Amino acid sequence: MTARWLALSGGVGGAKLVLGLADTLPDPRRLTVIANTGDDFEHLGLAICPDLDTLMYTLAGVASPATGWGRADETGTFMQALARLGGETWFHLGDADLATHVERTRRLAAGESLSVATRALAARFGIVAEILPMSDDPVRTVIVTGDRELAFQHYFVRERCEPPVRAIRFEGAAQAKPAPDVLARLADPDLAGIVIAPSNPLISIDPILAVPGLEAAIATAGRPVIAVSPIIGGEALKGPTAKMLRELGAEASVVGIARHYRDLVDGLVIDQVDGALASAVEALGLAVHIAPTVMRTLDDKRTLARAVVGFASTLTRRRD
């Protein structure tokens, strides 16, 4: 049997590495992606799952190259018509993207679980890798700012990540169960390694780890766990990762990322520009691999995916 690989991912940054993995692993059907659903929300009566959709569109080759989320060659008739009616337009839903939300909402209302609905949508896009939501139960990321608690998309899109973050909560996580198949994939004897994609650890990976049983299953899988740093030279390529780390009192550097993951991962992939920090990461007990981590082209994604898989293959799980 070909080796199985498992990745934990949020949206845009993580999806790029997932595409690289799907494109380079010998059998992409043996790649499972566990996706963050903490960003999900109900909006305009629709079930919106941004990270699931970003992964799906990226793997299908239909993601917008300009934003990384939403679809390429999108039109905005729905949004324009909604604006004319005085509707809520702060969260942009393109016309083709809208169809995904409508169809998902219909399936959920008909009683399908999120994982079944996701499987059906991904199959329609011709995706062979397996995309699993972390849970079929609702988990909602809440950002605690100075004087308010903001639902994730209100903080992220409506308020453009401007309010300083005091704390982050994952509402519903304590009652959530891992989606069916998540624990089975982690216990697969053919599992070769677990990759934590270069997503925001605070809002994309931590919600996944907050689902009871999931982190323990990763820790006891007995396979190397590799993270790729989303921080390059003290900044994130996209999004508020560095700002949020600083606001929560952590260091916005590969060392801060290593501290965040040190109890879970065996190795960290860092960018060449952070090479001088390798020994500080190693001092925390992690193996380090230095590689180009900026993924602009498909070739960049493939090269990084090969580096991650190669690095994992040199490691044995050291935390058993």
Q: How far is the CB of 133 from ligand FO1 (least distance, A)?
A: 14
Find the distance separating the first CA and the last CA of the chain, reported in whole Å.
Answer: 25
Which residue's beta carbon is nearest to the bound ligand FO1? 11
Contacts to ligand FO1 from residues 132-171, by CB under 6 A: 153, 156-157
Instruction: Out of 5, 8, 10, 225, point to the residue binding ligand FO1 (CB under 6 A).
Output: 10
Is residue 274 close enough to count as binding ligand FO1 by CB under 6 A? Answer: no
Q: How far is the CB of 124 from ligand FO1 (least distance, A)?
A: 16
Among the residue ranges 85-93, 131-139, 174-182, 274-282, the one whose residues contact ligand FO1 (CB under 6 A): 85-93
Is residue 74 close enough to count as binding ligand FO1 by CB under 6 A? Answer: no
Residue 307 · residue 288 · CB < 8 Å = no
Is residue 198 close enough to count as binding ligand FO1 by CB under 6 A? Answer: no
Is residue 43 close enough to count as binding ligand FO1 by CB under 6 A? Answer: no
Q: What are phi and psi of 178, to 5 degrees?
A: -55, 145
Q: How far is the CB of 215 from ligand FO1 (least distance, A)?
A: 21
Q: How far is the CB of 259 from ligand FO1 (least distance, A)?
A: 23
Among the residue ranges 24-32, 87-95, 140-148, 171-179, the one whose residues contact ligand FO1 (CB under 6 A): 87-95
Is residue 261 close enough to count as binding ligand FO1 by CB under 6 A? Answer: no
Count of residues near ligand FO1 by CB under 6 A: 17
Residues that bind ligand FO1 (CB under 6 A): 10-12, 39, 50-51, 53-54, 69-70, 91-93, 97, 153, 156-157
